[in-house]
Structure 1
Amino acid sequence: MKRYINYSIVYAVLAMVSGVFYREFTKLNGYTDWTTLAVVHTHYFILGMMFFLILGLVSMNINLKINRAVLFYNVGLNLTTIMLVVVVLFKF
């Protein structure tokens, strides 16, 4: 359970950092259109923080043995958000 809560904290920090990066990057470049950077913040908050908070609560009552699935989930979520950022950076 503690590991899932720690993952949740890490994803909350990443979500806040990505939100600030989105705001400052678009402001500095004078970009006013919609960009995929806007959804990186949401992906980390919902798919990262909220998912692992719920998983931590569930694991308190049920003994979960899903280490490989959590590894693939972490890799997939981070790969998705990295690609969302890369798409924007190659536009500029």
Structure 2
Amino acid sequence: MKTLYHLALTWLILGLISGVFYREWTKLAGFEGATQLSTLHTHMLTLGVIVHLLLLALDRGFALTAHRLFSASVWVYNGGLALTVILMTVRGLVQVDGGEPPLPDAAISGMAGLGHIVLAVGLGMLFKVLGDQLRRQKSSSAAMSSSR
């Protein structure tokens, strides 16, 4: 459970920093168009902070951390989120700079797509864990009811 708290806190700090970075970087560059940097803040706060806080709350009721797949699912999810955010940052910096990207645009899109896929796999694993724990809890309470 402590890990979930620390992950939520880490994503909160990164999300707040990214919001300040977006505002200051675009101001410094005199940039007034649309950029991927503007969405970093909300992605990190929603997918990083809120998801981990929800998992923390769900763990209290369903003992998610007791499931053998839980830790792996959290790290797969976070890996996908980190890859997605890194590629969003790269794309946003290129948009603000207006220069040549360090990689072809298709490569950036492809790697961002991989980040989304890994994120989705992590979410799927988390739902597997939640489903298993719901079934376990239901069968446990049914067994307790029948023994009375």
Shorter chain as normaliser: what TM range? over 0.9
Q: Structure 1 counterpart of 2:82, which letter? A: N
Relative CO higher for 1 or 2, CA cutoff 8 Å, sep ≥ 6? 1
Counterpart of 2:32 in structure 1 is 32
Q: Structure 2 counterpart of 1:78, which letter? A: A
Taking structure 1 as the reference length, the TM-score comes to 0.94
Question: Which of 84, 88, 92 pairs up with 2:92?
Answer: 88
Secondary structure of 1:8's aligned partner = helix
Q: Give 5+ residue unaligned stretches, structure 1.
A: none
Which ranges of 4 or more aligned residues in structure 1 deviate by more than 2 Å?
A: 88-91
Counterpart of 2:100 in structure 1 is none
Q: C-alpha distance in 2, partners of 1:88/1:9?
A: 24
Counterpart of 1:46 in structure 2 is 46
Q: C-alpha distance in 2, partners of 1:26/1:89?
A: 9
Between the aligned residues of both structures, percent identity stands at: 37
Structure of larger gyration radius? 2
Q: Give 5+ residue unaligned stretches, structure 2.
A: 98-148
Counterpart of 2:78 in structure 1 is 74
Q: How many residues align?
A: 92
Backbone CA RMSD of aligned residues = 1.0
Taking structure 2 as the reference length, the TM-score comes to 0.60
Q: Structure 2 counterpart of 1:51, which letter? A: V
Q: C-alpha distance in 1, partners of 2:94/2:36?
A: 12
Q: What's the CA shift string for 1:37-90, capped at 9, x where partnerless?
A: 011100100000000000000001212121111111001001101001111223
Q: C-alpha distance in 2, partners of 1:8/1:88?
A: 24
